Amino acid sequence: MSSNGEEASMKFRTPFRIAALALTLALPAAAQADCIPDSVVSSQSTVTDPTFGAYTVEKTVTVYSAQNCANPLPVAGQFTYVYTVKVLPDSTIGILSLTIPIPSSGSVSQWTFIDGAGVNPTNIVKLASSVTWDFAPVGINPGEMSDQLVLVSPYAPGGNVASVAGQFGLDATGNCLGPVVAPEPITCTIGFWKNREEGKKGLLQYFPGTDWDAVKAEAVAISSVFGSVAELVDALTSKGARTVEERAKQQLAALLLDVAAGSLYPANTKCRVFLGANGTQIDLDGNGTADITLEAALTQIESDILSGDPALQQAAQELADDINNGVGVLRDDDL
């Protein structure tokens, strides 16, 4: 498997082989039956040679959290990006490489591929601002598909522009998810999320239609406290006299929705915080410097809620409340 290296061309010497993995970006065949993938985000798009239309490439990417049971290469606190490219059969020529931009030299920890039934890259080139899987000299021909191409990064997914090098110099670019510098965090309160759940007209512009269902489902998927969307919504909309545990769960529900919104729609300008080592940072003591990642804070909040200890549950409620109100949430100019 490839590993960190100098910012130069790097020959791939020892393939990372997982023979049981199916060539699909869904659940690997080797996974257990009760494994439910909870990818952060996935997308599929096509790139067509803009000059002659000599080829069309179907690009697919799925981004996995480290905890995802279907993640083919999990690294704690990081995201695994799995790409495939397929040259559609009606193309007349093939492609020679795929290039994904990265934020900086140290923004990826691994760049590799998973050997399977597809076309292997002959070389992987990692530079300060990009990773390229090279298939030259033969390339990926019409009707063929690459093996799974993998990046591991602490940076969360966002909009990116991938480059495809076609045969005969016919290159093209297209939108593609990739690791990006996380946008500024924007937190939303219990009140915002309750009103969105109730369908208040002024908030329907945020996460419209099925996007709202997706945010709630993602919030449950990343939580160890809520087992269903109904449980999360019940906690979020609770009111009146409640136990400290119930109040903590209400704050947790709002925080999870912020995290889910950031994971699914990082480019939105409302309600977005980010997990991962380079995600949102929290200042616990008010001195202006980061003390803990949001991911670590979320883990602690859920652990305290599940402890059954009212004192710990009170601490969880207060920390989640602070984060939801932006207290201690550091922005780029604070870091």
Low-confidence ranges of the chain (pLDDT < 70): 1-39, 278, 333-335
Of 36, 35, 82, the C-alpha closest to 60 is 82
pTM over 0.75: no
pLDDT score, position 335? 60
Residue pLDDT, tens place only, 258-310? 999 988 887 788 999 988 776 899 999 999 889 999 999 999 999 999 999 99
CA 86 to chain centre: 22
Q: Cis bond leading into 154, ω under 30°?
A: no
Q: How far apart are CA 221 and CA 313, in angstroms?
A: 22
pLDDT score, position 241? 95
Q: How far apart are CA 102 and CA 96, in angstroms?
A: 20
Which whole-number Å values give the CA distances from 215 to 51, 162, 198, 219, 240, in the listed order?
A: 39, 26, 15, 6, 26
- The secondary structure of residue 296, as a DSSP letter, is H
Q: How far apart are CA 331 and CA 65, in angstroms?
A: 23
Q: How far apart are CA 252 and CA 319, in angstroms?
A: 9
pLDDT score, position 276? 76
Q: Write b or e for each residue in 21-37: b if 16 or more Cβ atoms lie within 10 A of its Cβ, otherwise e.
A: bebebeebeebeeeeeb
Residue type, 17: R
Contact 190, 236 (CB under 8 A): yes
Contact 317, 244 (CB under 8 A): yes
Query: What domains can be seen in the chain, in order of their start residue?
Result: 9-179 (2.60.40), 190-334 (no CATH)
The alpha carbon torsion through 89, 92, 97, 98 (nearest 10 deg) reads -50
- Give the bridge partners for 17, in sequence order: 115
Q: At 38, is the secondary structure helix, strand, or coil?
A: coil
Backbone angles phi, psi at 166, to 5 degrees: -85, 160
